[in-house]
C-alpha cells in the first residue's frame, strides 16, 4: 500500500512540476466561468437557478475536455517510461506491477481532482460571490463535478491500456486521439445518423437508449441531465432516461465498470510484459 | 546439505534459455555466484549479458531452465525481496525534470531507506554540490554516479552493475571503481558486466566469458588461463656469451622466441611451468634474472573468442 502512495504522490508532483495541473485548472476554470456568467444573465422564462442551469452547458463542455485532458495525461504513462528506461529500474524496486498502475492512476486522479475542484469549484464560488444568483442548485453542480471526475477516470484507464499495448510513444499519442474521436465524437454522430435514417422508427427507443449506454460519454450525459429535475428541465430531456428505465445506480455502475475494466486489462497486459 | 548450499549461493542459473522470436539471446547458461563473491561477465555487445541480468532481476522469464536469486525465483518472488537488490542499468535514465536529490529520495522511499542515508550517499558519490540541480543538466558521469547512488541504497545484499563505466573517460572509470570499492559494503555479492577487460581484471573474484548467448568459460583468472592453455612467457637475463648454450638446454622444455647477447625469451604452458622453473634454477649463476609474465585477461578473452569462432 505504501508503494502505491509513494508512486501516486510522485505522479502528482510531476504534474505540478511540468505545469499540467496549472494548465488544466486554467482551462477548466476560465471556460466554466465564461459559461457560468453567460448562464446567470437574465434568460427570460427559464426558472432554474444559475448553478444547475450551467450544469447543462458544463456537462457538454466536460464531455469533450475531460477525456482529452485524461488521455493526454495517461497515454504516455507506461510507454513513456518503457522508452526512457525508467520503468526498467522502477521494477527492480520492491513494487509490484499492479501497484505501478494503481499508483499512477491515483496520482493522475489527484491531478484531475485538483483541476476540477479548483477550476469548476472556483468558477462557481466566484459566480456566487459576484452575481445575484444564490447557491441554489449547488447539489447538481457538485454532482456534476463528481461525475466529471468519473468520466476522467474512464479515459485515464483507457489511456493506460493504449500505453501498455503499443511499443512507441508516437503510436500511443495517435491511438489516444483516435480513442477520443471515437468515444466523444464519432459514436454519437453514428447514433444520430442511425436515428435520422430510421424513418419508420423500427429501432425502438429501448434499443436506442441501450446503444447510448455503451458509450461512457453518453452515460455521463444521462447521469448529469437526469439526476436533478431542474437540470433536466433546462436541458429539455427531463425523464428521457427515466422513461427508458435507467436509474442512477445503473448509470453509476456503468461508469465504474468503464473505469475498472481498462485498468484491470492494463494490469493484466503489464503483468505479462517482458522488459 | 541442500540448505547449506542455498545459503552459500546468491545466484544460481541452470540451463537458462531466452529467445525473442527466432533469436536466441541466452542459450543454455549455467552460472552460480557464491555469496560475497564479485563475479564479472565479459563479452561483446549483444553477447547476452544484459538479458542474463534481466533474467536474474525477474524482468523477463526464461523460456527454459531455472533462475534462482537469493533462494527464490526472481520472476515470481514477492516484490519485498527486491529490497535486498541493487541494480545499475546500462545507460541509466531518470526523470529529467527532477532534481538529483528528489530522484534519490523517491527511490529511497520505495526501499524504505531514511532521508539521512540519502544525504550521506550523495556525499559519498560526490554529488552533494549538484544535488539541487535538475537531472537534465547532469553530465554522463554525474548521471552514472546518481545511478550508483540509487543502486547502493539500503546496503543491498546483491548488486547488479550493467556496464557501469561505459561512456566514462579513463580517470572517471578508476574513480568509479574506487567508489564501488568504498561502498562495497561488507559481504555484498556483485555481478558486473563489462566489455573493457583491463579495468575489471583486478576487481573480479571470478570471470565468466560470454559469447552469442552462452558462457564459454568461467573461473578465476588463473583457472581461465590454465583452461585456455595459454603460454606463460619467461624472460631470462643470462651471463654474456652463454645464451646460446642455455637456450640449447631449455629448448625441449618450451618454445624459444628470441635469443640475443644476454637474454632469452621463451614460453611454456602453465602446466609445465614449474618443471621449467626448477630447471632454470638448477642452471645456477649463469641466469642473472628472470621475469614471468602470465597471460593477461584480454589474451585469454581473445583466445576464447577465436576458439568459439565457427
Q: Summarize pLDDT for A199-232 with one digit per residue, the tens.
A: 777 767 778 778 888 889 989 988 888 777 667 6
pTM: 0.87
CA pair distance B205, B184, nearest whole angstrom? 14
C-beta atoms of A89 and B109 within 8 A: no
Alpha-carbon distances of B210 from B43, B51, B63, B175, B300, rounded to whole Å? 5, 12, 19, 26, 13
C-beta atoms of B91 and A85 within 8 A: yes
Which residue in A has a C-alpha nearest to residue B58's C-alpha? A92
Q: What is the pLDDT of residues A8-57, one digit of tens each?
A: 999 999 999 989 999 999 999 999 988 887 765 555 544 445 677 788 88
Backbone angles phi, psi at B181, to 5 degrees: -65, -40
Strand order in the sheet with B9-20: B23-34, B9-20, B64-69
| pLDDT on residue A232 | 66
C-beta atoms of A91 and B59 within 8 A: yes
CA pair distance B100, B122, nearest whole angstrom? 9
CA pair distance B129, B142, nearest whole angstrom? 11
For the segment B21-50, the average pLDDT, to the nearest whole number, is: 90
Of residues B59, B79, B106, nearest to A275 (C-beta): B59
For the segment B174-203, the average pLDDT, to the nearest whole number, is: 78
CA A178 to chain CA centroid, Å, is 16
Residue pair B47/B24 in contact (Cβ under 8 Å)? The answer is no
C-beta atoms of B106 and A91 within 8 A: no
For the segment A107-127, the average pLDDT, to the nearest whole number, is: 94
Which residue in A has a C-alpha nearest to residue B82's C-alpha? A94
CA pair distance A102, A7, nearest whole angstrom? 9
Residue pair B40/B203 in contact (Cβ under 8 Å)? The answer is yes
Measure in Å the smallest separation between the Cα of B180 and chain A Cα atoms: 19
Beta strand ranges found along B21-165 (DSSP E): 23-34, 38-42, 64-69, 85-88, 158-162
From chain B, the residues in CB contact with A3 under 8 A are 79, 110
Q: Is B4 a residue whose pLDDT tops 60?
A: no
Of residues B82, B89, B95, nearest to A14 (C-beta): B95
From chain B, the residues in CB contact with A274 under 8 A are 59-61
Q: What is the pLDDT of residues B90-107, one digit of tens each?
A: 889 999 889 999 999 999
pLDDT band at B174 (very low <50, low <70, confident <90, very high): confident
Q: Is B282 a residue whose pLDDT tops 60?
A: yes
Contacts of A1 by beta carbon, 8 Å cutoff, 6+ apart = none
pLDDT band at A113 (very low <50, low <70, confident <90, very high): very high
| pLDDT on residue A239 | 53
Average per-residue pLDDT for chain A: 87
Q: Is B2 a residue whose pLDDT tops 50?
A: no
Q: What's the grid cell of residue A54?
A: 450551467
- Return the higher-pLDDT residue of B157 and B222: B157
**Could you tell me where the DSSP H helices lie in A132-199?**
138-165, 169-180, 187-197
Determine the 3-state secondary structure of A24 from DSSP: helix
For the segment A56-81, the average pLDDT, to the nearest whole number, is: 93
**Could you tell me where the DSSP H helices lie in chain B?**
2-8, 49-57, 100-111, 115-124, 140-151, 170-183, 198-201, 221-228, 243-250, 273-282, 297-308
- Return the higher-pLDDT residue of B244 and A62: A62
C-beta atoms of B92 and A85 within 8 A: yes
| pLDDT on residue A45 | 45
Please determine, for the modelled complex, whether the ipTM score is greater than 0.95: no
∠B248-B253-B257 over CA atoms, to 5°? 65
- Return the higher-pLDDT residue of A162 and B1: A162
Residue pair B140/B67 in contact (Cβ under 8 Å)? The answer is no
Amino acid at each position: 500500500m505504501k508503494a502505491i502512495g509513494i508512486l501516486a504522490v510522485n505522479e502528482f508532483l510531476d504534474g505540478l512540476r511540468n505545469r499540467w495541473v496549472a494548465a488544466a485548472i486554467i482551462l477548466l476554470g476560465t471556460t466554466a466561468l465564461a459559461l457560468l456568467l453567460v448562464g446567470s444573465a437574465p434568460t427570460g422564462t427559464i426558472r432554474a437557478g444559475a448553478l444547475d442551469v450551467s450544469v447543462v452547458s458544463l456537462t457538454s463542455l466536460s464531455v469533450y475536455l475531460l477525456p482529452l485532458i485524461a488521455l493526454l495525461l495517461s497515454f504516455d504513462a507506461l510507454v513513456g517510461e518503457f522508452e526512457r528506461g525508467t520503468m526498467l529500474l522502477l521494477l527492480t524496486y520492491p513494487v509490484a506491477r499492479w501497484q505501478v498502475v494503481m499508483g499512477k492512476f491515483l496520482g493522475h486522479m489527484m491531478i484531475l481532482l485538483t483541476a476540477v475542484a479548483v477550476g469548476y469549484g472556483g468558477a462557481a464560488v466566484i459566480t456566487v460571490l459576484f452575481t445575484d444568483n444564490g447557491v441554489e442548485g449547488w447539489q447538481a453542480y457538485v454532482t456534476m463535478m463528481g461525475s466529471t471526475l468519473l468520466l476522467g477516470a474512464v479515459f485515464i484507464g483507457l489511456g493506460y491500456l493504449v500505453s501498455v499495448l503499443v511499443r512507441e510513444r508516437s503510436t500511443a499519442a495517435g491511438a489516444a486521439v483516435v480513442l477520443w474521436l471515437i468515444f466523444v465524437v464519432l459514436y454519437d454522430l453514428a447514433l444520430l445518423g442511425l436515428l435520422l435514417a430510421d424513418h419508420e422508427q423500427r429501432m425502438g427507443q429501448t434499443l436506442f437508449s441501450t446503444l447510448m449506454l455503451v458509450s461512457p460519454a453518453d452515460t455521463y450525459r444521462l447521469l448529469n441531465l437526469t439526476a436533478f429535475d431542474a437540470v433536466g428541465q433546462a436541458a429539455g430531456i427531463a425523464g428521457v432516461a427515466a422513461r427508458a428505465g435507467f436509474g442512477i445506480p445503473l448509470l453509476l455502475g456503468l461508469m465504474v465498470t468503464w473505469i475498472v475494466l481498462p485498468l484491470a486489462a492494463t494490469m493484466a497486459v503489464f503483468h505479462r510484459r517482458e522488459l | 546439505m541442500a540448505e547449506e548450499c542455498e545459503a552459500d549461493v546468491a545466484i544460481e542459473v541452470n540451463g537458462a534459455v531466452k529467445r525473442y522470436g527466432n533469436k536466441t539471446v541466452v542459450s543454455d547458461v549455467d552460472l552460480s555466484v557464491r555469496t560475497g563473491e564479485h563475479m564479472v561477465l565479459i563479452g561483446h555487445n549483444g553477447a547476452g549479458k544484459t538479458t542474463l541480468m534481466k533474467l536474474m532481476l525477474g524482468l523477463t522469464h526464461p523460456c527454459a531452465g531455472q533462475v534462482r536469486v537469493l533462494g527464490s525465483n526472481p520472476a515470481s518472488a514477492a516484490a519485498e525481496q527486491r529490497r535486498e537488490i541493487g541494480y545499475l542499468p546500462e545507460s541509466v535514465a531518470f526523470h529529467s525534470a527532477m532534481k538529483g536529490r528528489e530522484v534519490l529520495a523517491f527511490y529511497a522511499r520505495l526501499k524504505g531507506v531514511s532521508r539521512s542515508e540519502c544525504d550521506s550517499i550523495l556525499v559519498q558519490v560526490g554529488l552533494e554540490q549538484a544535488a539541487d540541480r535538475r537531472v537534465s543538466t547532469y553530465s554522463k558521469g554525474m548521471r552514472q554516479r546518481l545511478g550508483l547512488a540509487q543502486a547502493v541504497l539500503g546496503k543491498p545484499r546483491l548488486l547488479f552493475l550493467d556496464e557501469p563505466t561505459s561512456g566514462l573517460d579513463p580517470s572517471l572509470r578508476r574513480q568509479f571503481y574506487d567508489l564501488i570499492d568504498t561502498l562495497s559494503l561488507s559481504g555484498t555479492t556483485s555481478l558486473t558486466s563489462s566489455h573493457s577487460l583491463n579495468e575489471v581484471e583486478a576487481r573480479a573474484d571470478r570471470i565468466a566469458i560470454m559469447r552469442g548467448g552462452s558462457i564459454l568459460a568461467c573461473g578465476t583468472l588463473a583457472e581461465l588461463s590454465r583452461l585456455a592453455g595459454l603460454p606463460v612467457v619467461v624472460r631470462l637475463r643470462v651471463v654474456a656469451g652463454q645464451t646460446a648454450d642455455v637456450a640449447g638446454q631449455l629448448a625441449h622444455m618450451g618454445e624459444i622466441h628470441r635469443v640475443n647477447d644476454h637474454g632469452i625469451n621463451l614460453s611454456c604452458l602453465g602446466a609445465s611451468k614449474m618443471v621449467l622453473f626448477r630447471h632454470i634454477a638448477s642452471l645456477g649463476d649463469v641466469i642473472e634474472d628472470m621475469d614471468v609474465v602470465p597471460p593477461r585477461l584480454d589474451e585469454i578473452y581473445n583466445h576464447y573468442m577465436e576458439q568459439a569462432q565457427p
